[in-house]
Amino acid sequence: MALYRVNMNVTPLIYNTYYKFHVNINKLHFLKGQSIKNRQFPLKYISTQRNGSLKRIITEVSHLQEYITIRKSQALKSILVQIESMKSYKDLIIYCSQFGPVENIYCYTLPKQHQFVLLEFKNLQAVQNICENATFIDNYIPSKTNVLWFRKVSNDNMKSHSKFSASKYIISKPLLIKENIIRDLIGTSSSISDQMVTLYNEYKLDELEIRLKFLTIVQLEHSFASLFPNIIIHPFGSFINGFGKRLSDLDLIFFVDGLKVENLSSRLVFHGKSTIMNEKEQVLLFMGVIADTMKYIIPECDLSMSNVIATYMSEVLFLYGELDSRVKPLVFTIRKWAKDNKLTNIYPGRTITNFSLTLLVIFYLQQINILPVINKMTTYSEITNEYQQDLKKVYMHYSSDDSISYTTNNADLGSLLIDLFRFYSDFNFKAKQICLQTGVAVESKHDSALYIRNPFEEGLNVSKNVSFDEVQRIKTSMLIAITNLQNTEHLKSKKWGILSILNFSDPYNSGINMSEILYKEVNKENTENNEIVKSTEEKNVNTTLSTETTNVITNKDIVSQK
């Protein structure tokens, strides 16, 4: 089980309120002569679709900020309910429908056989009505959230409902998909390119996990709102940049809304504590309490307030993932290959990170004119903010001045994978710096084994931790991968294509197939009762729900059964 932790940077906020945020700004201002604005700036992207050998550019403009807003809106209209068994599933749906029309339902299990149902309503008022009508358990400290328990009642108090059809609702597959199943799916693909797409589809974040994590975000905002009314919590990292893998951590940043201006006409000002000298010592003492509290409700969640640069990097990676449909499958394959060959590690050290690997893939795609360089996508300007004296802001936006020349390179994924291995197996990492801003390997004298320039903080190397031995291991592993891919591409044996360079384990799958259980329960009930009673409650539910099948991944039991 992953380590549950809270980033130490957020804890001083408990003591210092908003003043700590300004300390972080000044530190960045001192290092770089500039600061980062306190909110996300829209970074537009143009979606692409591939039709055969032709690539069609669709001029549909969207924002990462807009995507986050939509997801938060869905989470605000959702509740998460633990049920005792699948026998309670039907009663829960019909009971909740009296508070408002239901839009979507996701049902899943956890390793200890707990069943949960995620319900999204059509409007926020329905959730508010449910929270007002929900009750607390005696002898427990009350906590009002969107995470609830659906308790049983006696049969005498239960209303008679009509026949319940399982096909009308979204029933999840087992919690964990076995590695051998993914391996078999990849083995049945027709080409290496299809194998890579299959691997990406099986490992990428699914709809349910995305919804659960955004539900966590809005619950955190709700919890902090009374103490810090001007805060915004944003996701960053792999979860939001499009390269997130199932079971990945949730990285969050704690913003103070810089758009809310101080009311100078008011003579009463909220009191806030100043920075304290023994801050580090108090943080260490308080960390255990915060971590123990958060691990029960937000597993594998990092909460920070000083990692602002990472939010902008997330926007750039989000854009790159949308520019070409080959980017994400290629990144996922490289990451899986590195993990299986022990080139990466879950613990910090001298090995290369997934972030550095992603930047290497992007730099390679820049070399073959599939992805544009950062300088052609964005422009930077420093604008003095009249409300915060001389603090400067860095704005990022889609560049309308420089037209991005989209690629005519239609190479398939299999060819790109082999060529990427060949490109870096011959790359002179000792004498060159990798720069994504210009897309050029800059000749430079440096003492790092691998030097990848930070696109937003020049002079910083994002892969400084990588040792010379690890770089040599990466290059050797790439040469071996090239040989295996070329020799097994047409054999179609058990380990052909990317299966020859990957290793699939077979972890214990403790999930259960809820769709089969629900199907048996429903058929049993419908057999015993042939009369169809069309109740108003079920009619409302059936007209609002849509059918969808989704894979389930969740990290930990969010609510423990009492």
The predicted-structure confidence for 476-511, as pLDDT tens digits, reads as follows 999 999 999 998 877 777 789 999 999 987 543 333
pLDDT at res. 253: 84
Least Cα distance to 375 among 354, 402, 395 occurs for 402
Q: Which of 211-215, 296-300, 397-401, 403-407 has the lowest mean pLDDT?
A: 397-401
Whether the per-residue pLDDT at 445 is higher than 90: the answer is: no
C-alpha–C-alpha distance, residues 220 and 17, integer Å:
16
Q: What burial class does residue 51 get, using C-beta atoms within 10 Å of its C-beta: 0-12 exposed, 13-18 middle, 19+ buried?
A: exposed
- Please give the structure tokens belonging to residue 334: 């490289």
Q: From 3.30.70.330, 3.40.309.10, 2.30.40.10, 3.40.640.10, which CATH number describes the 76-155+164-171 domain?
A: 3.30.70.330
pLDDT at res. 347: 85
Whether the per-residue pLDDT at 249 is higher than 60: the answer is: yes
Q: Where are the domains of the chain?
A: 76-155+164-171
Range 297-326 average pLDDT: 80
The predicted-structure confidence for 164-197, as pLDDT tens digits, reads as follows 444 445 655 555 667 888 999 999 999 999 999 9
Q: Which of 137-146, 421-430, 437-446 has the lowest mean pLDDT?
A: 137-146
Whether the per-residue pLDDT at 405 is higher than 50: the answer is: no
Q: Which of 154-168, 295-309, 315-329, 521-535 has the lowest mean pLDDT?
A: 521-535
pLDDT at res. 331: 98
Range 520-545 average pLDDT: 42
Please tell me which residue, 318 or 538, carries the higher pLDDT value: 318
C-alpha–C-alpha distance, residues 528 and 532, integer Å:
11
pLDDT at res. 88: 83
Can you give the three-state secondary structure of 470-524, one letter per residue? HHHHHHHHHHHHHHHHHHHCCCCCCCCHHHHCCCCCCCCCCCCCHHHHHHHHHHH
Range 288-313 average pLDDT: 66
pLDDT at res. 39: 33
Instruction: Work out the mean pLDDT of the chain and round it to a whole number.
Output: 71
Please tell me which residue, 266 or 75, carries the higher pLDDT value: 75
Please tell me which residue, 54 or 101, carries the higher pLDDT value: 101
C-alpha–C-alpha distance, residues 469 and 458, integer Å:
26
CB 147 within 8 A of CB 527: no
64 band by pLDDT with thresholds 50, 70 and 90: confident
The predicted-structure confidence for 108-124, as pLDDT tens digits, reads as follows 887 776 788 999 999 99
380 band by pLDDT with thresholds 50, 70 and 90: very low
Whether the per-residue pLDDT at 460 is higher than 60: the answer is: yes
SS3 204: strand
Whether the per-residue pLDDT at 136 is higher than 60: the answer is: yes
346 band by pLDDT with thresholds 50, 70 and 90: confident
Whether the per-residue pLDDT at 202 is higher than 80: the answer is: yes
Least Cα distance to 45 among 385, 318, 393 occurs for 318
Range 422-433 average pLDDT: 94
Please tell me which residue, 142 or 335, carries the higher pLDDT value: 335
pLDDT at res. 20: 28
User: Of 136-145, 165-174, 282-291, which one has max mean pLDDT?
Assistant: 136-145
pLDDT at res. 281: 52
Sheet with 78-83, strands from edge to edge, namely 102-109, 115-121, 78-83, 147-150
Range 309-319 average pLDDT: 87
Whether the per-residue pLDDT at 90 is higher than 90: the answer is: no
pLDDT at res. 309: 81
Helices 536-544, 89-97: inter-axial angle, 10-degree rounding:
90
Range 258-283 average pLDDT: 65
Please tell me which residue, 164 or 336, carries the higher pLDDT value: 336
- Please give the structure tokens belonging to residue 333: 């394959």
387 band by pLDDT with thresholds 50, 70 and 90: very low
Please tell me which residue, 178 or 214, carries the higher pLDDT value: 214
152 band by pLDDT with thresholds 50, 70 and 90: confident
The predicted-structure confidence for 2-44, as pLDDT tens digits, reads as follows 333 444 444 444 434 332 222 222 222 223 322 333 333 333 3
CB 522 within 8 A of CB 164: yes
In sequence order, which residues have a C-beta less than 8 Å from that of residue 283 and are 6 or more positions away?
A: 8, 11, 12
Place of tokens 């380590």: 3
pLDDT at res. 99: 93
Least Cα distance to 245 among 147, 344, 311, 103 occurs for 344
In the chain, % of residues over pLDDT 90 = 33
Measured from the Cβ of residue 145, the count of other Cβ atoms closer than 10 Å reads 17
